[in-house]
Amino acid sequence: MSSDSSSSSNNNNDAAAVFAFYRYDPSMAGAVIFTILFAITTIWHIVQLCRTQTWFFIPFVSHAILRKKWLTKVFVTGDVLSFFLQGAGGGIQSSGSLSGMQTGEHIIVAGLFVQIFFFGFFMLTAGAFDRKLKKYPIPRCRDPSIPWRKHLNILYLTSFLIMVRSVFRLIEYLQGNDGYLLHHEVFLYLFDAVLIFSAMAVFNFFHPSEITQLLGGGGDYELQGGGNKYGV
């Protein structure tokens, strides 16, 4: 009896130790549908990019927590660091060993934490810009020909979608390889594929090229309020 019990326990431990990238039968229909949807929005973005020559999109150029010269450096550094951590974790997992899988998983979790931290800081910076612009408006923000408010709201919406997706992936990894989320494919579509596709589609319909004129003025602007001037 003791031997049978020990054998059963070992079998359970062995089963739990088996690493898998997902623990469900993937839906072919779901994969095909979202492959087509992402292909459509990606091709559309490429056409828009070439047609409008919108090689970059800076959602705000002043009134931010950080000075302009630090905006790109800080956020690109965070993005690259997160990318390399997650890529390194995936590379270690490709070794195929159980220890490699677990180590890679921990590194990916670290990368996701970095991603959420920097992206959260980006959202706070956008919010600070918005609040300061309301308090110390510059003349151009009242120009109806510059739809900056619409695009800032679009930025809020898409940032929220991306943040929800990032938090979902973090929870997925924190639950472990045998976690609840990895056993149910529906969550992958609801909190990953649908959210990212929605963000891409929103930018298709509200493309940042519309505010190219806002970025083309050049120079620094001053915040004016209550008779005082605050240098950007």
Looking at residue 183, the DSSP 8-state letter turns out to be G
Residues 6+ apart with CB under 8 A from 178: 16, 23
230 DSSP β-pair partners: 223
Residues 110 and 146 both lie in one domain: no
Separation CA 119–CA 82 (nearest Å)? 10
Q: Is residue 162 part of a domain?
A: yes
Q: Is residue 8 part of a domain?
A: no
Residues 201 and 150 both lie in one domain: yes
Residues 147 and 202 both lie in one domain: yes
CA separation, residue 25 to residues 22, 40, 182, 213 (Å): 8, 26, 11, 49
Residues 149 and 206 both lie in one domain: yes
Q: Is residue 94 part of a domain?
A: yes
Q: Is the pLDDT of residue 57 over 70?
A: no
Separation CA 39–CA 51 (nearest Å)? 18
Contact 23, 182 (CB under 8 A): yes
Q: Is residue 101 part of a domain?
A: yes
Mean pLDDT of 201-207: 88
Residues 206 and 144 both lie in one domain: yes
Instruction: Check residue 113 and give its pLDDT.
Output: 94
Residues 205 and 150 both lie in one domain: yes
Convert the pLDDT of each residue in 85-134 to its tens digit: 988 988 888 777 778 888 888 999 999 999 999 999 989 888 888 888 88
Q: Is residue 45 part of a domain?
A: no
Contact 214, 146 (CB under 8 A): yes
Q: Is the pLDDT of residue 168 over 90?
A: yes
Contact 196, 161 (CB under 8 A): yes
214 CB burial (10 A radius; 0-12, 13-18, 19+): buried
Q: Name the domain count of the chain.
A: 2
Residues 157 and 201 both lie in one domain: yes
- Residue-range definition of the domain harbouring residue 152: 137-215
- What band does 215 get if pLDDT is binned at 50, 70 and 90? low
Residues 6+ apart with CB under 8 A from 110: 85, 89
Residues 79 and 146 both lie in one domain: no
Residues 160 and 196 both lie in one domain: yes
Q: Is residue 83 part of a domain?
A: yes
Q: Is residue 171 part of a domain?
A: yes
Residues 108 and 154 both lie in one domain: no
